[in-house]
Structure 1
Amino acid sequence: MPAPGELTFAAPRGAKKPPRHLADLTPAERREAVTAIGEKPFRAKQLSQHYFVRQAHRPEEWTDVPAASRERLAEALLPELMTVMRHVSCDDDATRKTLWRLHDGTLVESVLMRYPDRVTMCISSQAGCGMNCPFCATGQAGLDRNLSTAEIVHQIVEGVRALREGEVPGGPARLSNIVFMGMGEPLANYRRVVDAIRRLTDPEPDGLGLSQRGITVSTVGLLPAMLRFADEGFKCRLAVSLHAPDDELRDTLVPVNTRWKVSEVLDAAWEYARSSGRRVSIEYALIRDINDQAWRADLLGRLLKNKRAHVNLIPLNPTPGSQWTASRPEDEQQFVRVLESHGVPVTVRDTRGQEIDGACGQLAATER
């Protein structure tokens, strides 16, 4: 049975589960796994050190592990999960998008973005998406499957390794922020996303030792999962993909709104803000002549006034053949002014990656 708030999906005929990986397991489960293949329990911590701290994935690099044990441990706990099909870069190499092929041929994407003061990685939690938002390339492609915990975590582990080794132009760097805003609806893959957050933030060597405050999890508004997430005790940021302040339009732009309305979704967001102590990010893709009218900015401002919220306006990155496109600059500026008149903090997101199929799902779609 799926957990509350977790959506089921039909797996492709003949599809195989991802292989079990170290990052799928808790530290206790790792010890049990190495013991089950005849190794000493402390080998689990050695493997965790190599994977999470050193990002050393090849058995020949594990010089503290007997040669006779390396292949057996690798096969049991560090199988190859995913391979890079290609990297594409833009913005003077400050943005690098990676297309991954998973063990079953499924394609997913992640994006590494360098800014003067930080490095952000945008990762996928599903292959495709079942939310069917009409302006989103991933949503229009449909859902292939959920990613495993390890498939989610490995995107970040590889990003950390690439930054440390200087593979990304600009010299060695540390990862600052992780955003679950790539392919998929994170809270529709609830258990694996939550487990991934724990692996990312568990202290080294059990995990990557990253800060929960540097992680943002987005949702279109899966109400039961949002309330459950508020009970996890996380200090992550929640980002609600609202895109319209009125139910009439949001029913079209975000079809799950026909089940959970704007007021219910925002109430759940305020509950998360209360439990986490974090301000909620309200994501709003500005679409020309669709949701960018001043009266909608006024309605949004009234909904958010005096709440622990920050609006992140996103100039739409149009997808090929789509009827949707970005707002005019003057409409964007007016939208900002109206929100600010209500005292609502607002930022216009820096646009990245347009010349490399930057909208989520576009790069994978070119390979289908």
Structure 2
Amino acid sequence: MSNIDLKSLEMEELEEVFIRLGEKKYRAHQTFKWIHQKMVSSINNITELPQGLRDKLNLNYNISKLKIVQRLDSKFDDTSKYLFMLDDRNIIESVLMKYKHGVSVCLSTQVGCRMGCEFCASTKGGLVRSLLPGEILEQFYQIQKDQGYKVTNIVLMGSGEPLDNYDNVLKFLKIIHDDEGQNLGYRHITISTCGLVPKIYDLADEEIPINLSISLHSPFDEERKKIMPIANRHSIYEIIEACYYYINKTKRRITFEYTLIYGVNDKKEDALEIVKLLKGMLCHVNLIPLNRIKEFIHTKSDEEAIRNFKDILIKNGINTTIRREMGADVNAACGQLRRDYIKNQNPFN
């Protein structure tokens, strides 16, 4: 039997493990609490289990653990960027952000990404592999242990497309929500997607009241195709239809993320087209100044253009905010720190 990560198992699966070992189900509940409440990273540390049982578990099971390779703390705001090494030596990154309303972490769901968005550093090396539920959870646990306080909100908006790792992300959600673990409310969790329409429907059918965020970035299909290859598979109309379905199923407001790129998608006609698309929908638009990477020739819109864009949306009844730029001095944009680290480890890449 190959080594199985206990941290990636839901309670029912963990019960089956102990039943196969000839143990009672209550051992699964003990183990689950030690892994997800006390956040241990070794079977040997679950001292509530007899040593003999821990020895048996060690033969075929493990508890996933990440190593903090680097932590960068912003000098300008309450942002910390983490670089983690997985057991297979792959590198991922996460971000901690402190706000007045609480503490949020932005977690990765994949090593790299295959969505190919032109302005995103995460996707430039392609997809290496998807993360296990335990590896997504471990980012959250390591940050909490390192910081020494409770994190209140999770955003799955780091490296990777969460809905491209659907099954593992769904298990992550159920485990972190479990009342014998972190017991984190679904309303404190946001999933961001570039628009994998079939998976939006699947997620809606789960009827889990998490927050859904759509990376829109242009209201016109042809323009969107130039910067987001996913637009060749799913039109904006299909995405909007899926969003209405999601809202009807979950009763949750949807956020549309919109990165403003100078001369590309920041014109008056872009704003007015967004109004046409979203008028009457239970939604919110989050405008994001572009965080530039060297492979993308365009620059961010100037402050006046951003304000004008916001004003058009608000005057037409679209709830809109401008995302505060955080962690600029620690490469807080997805994928930047990881790429720098890999390049420094192998400068010939």
Q: Same fold per TM (> 0.5)?
A: yes
Partner of 1:223: 197
| 1:22-171 superposed matches below 5 A | 22-59=6-43, 61-73=45-57, 76-92=60-76, 94-163=78-147, 166=148
Q: Identify if the C-alpha distance between structure 1 residues 93 and 294 changes in structure 2 by more than 3 Å, giving closer, same or farther.
A: closer
Verify the 8 A CA contact 1:129 1:183 in the aligned structure 2.
yes
Moved more, 34-43 or 19-28: 34-43
Match among 165, 185, 191 for residue 189 of structure 1: 165
For 2:43 and 2:202, locate their aligned partners in 1 and report how far apart those are by CA, in whole Å: 39
Q: Identify if the C-alpha distance between structure 1 residues 231 and 321 changes in structure 2 by more than 3 Å, giving closer, same or farther.
A: closer
| 1:238-317 superposed matches below 5 A | 238-317=212-291
Unaligned runs of 5+ in 2: 343-349
For 1:217 and 1:65, locate their aligned partners in 2 and report how far apart those are by CA, in whole Å: 36
TM-score, structure 2 normalization: 0.92
For 1:225 and 1:63, locate their aligned partners in 2 and report how far apart those are by CA, in whole Å: 41
In the comparison of the two structures, how many residue pairs are matched? 341
Displacement of 1:330 in angstroms is: 0.5
Amino acid at match of 1:180: L
Displacement of 1:59 in angstroms is: 4.9
Verify the 8 A CA contact 2:94 2:108 in the aligned structure 1.
yes
* SS state at 2:337 partner: helix
Verify the 8 A CA contact 2:79 2:95 in the aligned structure 1.
yes
Displacement of 1:211 in angstroms is: 0.4
Verify the 8 A CA contact 2:257 2:286 in the aligned structure 1.
yes
For 2:60 and 2:37, locate their aligned partners in 1 and report how far apart those are by CA, in whole Å: 19
Amino acid at match of 2:74: C
For 2:309 and 2:261, locate their aligned partners in 1 and report how far apart those are by CA, in whole Å: 12
Verify the 8 A CA contact 1:317 1:358 in the aligned structure 2.
no
Residue deviations 1:237-272 (CA, integer Å, cap 9, x gap): 110100000111001111111111011101101110
Verify the 8 A CA contact 1:284 1:312 in the aligned structure 2.
yes
Partner of 1:349: 323
Quick check: 1:366 aligned with 2:340? yes
- Aligned-pair identity (%): 35
Partner of 1:232: 206
Verify the 8 A CA contact 2:163 2:169 in the aligned structure 1.
yes
Verify the 8 A CA contact 1:223 1:268 in the aligned structure 2.
yes
RMSD of the alignment, in Å? Answer: 1.8
For 2:333 and 2:72, locate their aligned partners in 1 and report how far apart those are by CA, in whole Å: 13
Q: Identify if the C-alpha distance between structure 1 residues 76 and 87 changes in structure 2 by more than 3 Å, giving closer, same or farther.
A: farther
Verify the 8 A CA contact 1:319 1:359 in the aligned structure 2.
no
Residue deviations 1:294-353 (CA, integer Å, cap 9, x gap): 110111112111111100111111123531321100000000011011100001011111
Residue deviations 1:204-224 (CA, integer Å, cap 9, x gap): 2xx321000011111111111
Verify the 8 A CA contact 1:302 1:342 in the aligned structure 2.
no
For 1:359 and 1:147, locate their aligned partners in 2 and report how far apart those are by CA, in whole Å: 19
Displacement of 1:27 in angstroms is: 1.3
Residue deviations 1:78-116 (CA, integer Å, cap 9, x gap): 434422211111145621111111122211111111112
* SS state at 2:274 partner: helix
Verify the 8 A CA contact 2:290 2:300 in the aligned structure 1.
yes
Displacement of 1:176 in angstroms is: 1.7
Displacement of 1:64 in angstroms is: 2.4
For 1:23 and 1:82, locate their aligned partners in 2 and report how far apart those are by CA, in whole Å: 12
Partner of 2:345: none
